Amino acid sequence: MKSRVIFPRAVLLVEVERWCGDHACNARTRLSLTKEEARAYTGFECERCERWNEDALAERDIPEWWEELRVASLEGLRPPKGAAAGGEETAEVIGRMSDAWKGLNEAGELEDGGAEDAD
């Protein structure tokens, strides 16, 4: 039997450039993020000094996808600090956000009708 190697593919959303917050290091780091990674992004590890840097994406980083990611997850899917991940509260938040997204689409406020690119 012949074995096959399968590589999962994901479309890159954006590449962002960040600098280490350690003044002694101040190394530049380039990050390539998919939609899922952009939704979960909370910071990065410096490649040079391995220090964790708290960070968040801003509209200037992803202007084309900002509204979608903002509605879909940037703040809504992350559990509050100190709270247990998952649970009924998260499901409730996701449901409210889905309703809000549908409402924007029905009101005609979305340019492309809310359709996503085929990944």
Cα(52)–Cα(13) distance, integer angstroms? 22
Residues in Cβ contact with 66 at an 8 Å cutoff, skipping those fewer than 6 apart:
59
- Dihedral sign from CA coordinates of 95, 97, 103, 106: negative
Question: What percent of the chain is predicted at pLDDT more than 90?
Answer: 20
Burial label, 37 (beta-carbon count in 10 A; 0-12, 13-18, 19+) = middle
| For residue 45, pLDDT beyond 90 | yes
| For residue 110, pLDDT beyond 80 | no
Q: 3-class DSSP state for residue 110?
A: coil
